Amino acid sequence: MQLARLADARVIGTASEGTFAFPRQLGAEPVAYGPGLGDRVRALAPDGVTAATDLFGTETPASSTR
């Protein structure tokens, strides 16, 4: 998140709702992970997402193909 923000990118970061404050502190817009992730990201970025990465799991790549 921090490197993307330094590059002046808009960052949408997944987190549990109870930890949304942390990505916000890093300059990201938090979105809850779990079922429906793709729909929640599309609601925040209706014109699409340029890039996605997931360093801890498989949910992001799976959601990005829909």
The pLDDT confidence band at residue 53, using thresholds 50, 70 and 90, is confident
Overall domain count for the chain: 1
Residue at 9 is within a domain: yes
Which residue range is the domain that position 45 belongs to? Answer: 2-57
pTM: 0.76
In a domain, 47, yes or no: yes
Structural contact between residues 44 and 29, judged by C-beta atoms closer than 8 angstroms? yes
Using alpha carbons, list the distances in angstroms from residue 55 to 14, 46, 52, 58, 61: 11, 24, 10, 9, 11
On whether residue 63 sits in a domain, the answer given is no
Strand residues in the chain grouped as ranges (E): 12-15, 29-32
Quick one: what percent of the chain has pLDDT higher than 90? 59
Distance CA 40, CA 37 (A): 5
Interatomic CA distance for residues 22 and 18, integer angstroms: 9
